[in-house]
Amino acid sequence: MKKLAVILCLTALTTGAFAQGLVNFLNNSSMLISVGDMTSAEAIPAGQGAAYWFALLSAAPDSSDPHTFTFAGVTATNMNAAAGRILGGTGLVVDNWAAGETKAFLVVGWSADQGTVFDPAWMEAGNVDTGNGMFAGTPGGMFGVSEIAPGGVAGGGPQSIPPLNLFGGSQGIQAGFTLVPVPEPATMALAGLAAALLIFRRRN
């Protein structure tokens, strides 16, 4: 009886492990990530000088609103990578994305001085236009959102199902994206005041 219980427990653990999806979180030289404003963006620098973090977000297949995507539990960074490149790892385990399951996904990035942990509030409607709509971003930092990959299958389990490449391939994100500055609330308030004064002056 004890042997049967042990076997059942081991089977459950093994099944649970195979139920987790696997992804490769790194981009290639044709899908570089940039930083700056939209008119003069340059590839994110290499090394430790200016650090940025990136998070994988997922949603139901064919989801088209980036604000509905949620953190999938894996991150990457530009540290120890070439300019414009990011490294999170290969075969990363995605707990909420089962092996063989199809999901839409995207990647968000932010400057490391805002912390290493993704904040869901950054995806709320706000003042940063990243090309996929308005986002709150990280005040005083940099923030950006990739295009949406409409449907990818997370790998895992048997090696006949390899990890999903988040960038490139037939199912991955097909282009790089840009991290843009997010104004401090005080800066926004001053800009609003200046605009109001300008309108008031013109009326007079």
* Residue 200, both tokens: 């008031």
The answer to whether residue 77 scores a pLDDT higher than 50 is: yes
Percent of the chain clearing pLDDT 90 (strictly above): 66
What is the domain partition of the chain in residue ranges?
A: 21-203
- Determine how β-strand 34-35 pairs with β-strand 178-181: parallel
Q: What is the mean pLDDT of residues 69-92?
A: 95
The answer to whether residue 131 scores a pLDDT higher than 90 is: no
For the question of whether the overall pTM of this predicted structure is more than 0.85, the answer is no
Q: What is the mean pLDDT of residues 33-53?
A: 85
The answer to whether residue 194 scores a pLDDT higher than 60 is: no
Q: Which residue has the higher pLDDT, 113 or 16?
A: 113
pLDDT at 87: 95
49: confidence class by pLDDT, cuts 50, 70, 90: low
Separation of alpha carbons 137 and 125, rounded Å = 9
Q: Is the dihedral of CA 151, 41, 80, 66 positive or negative?
A: negative
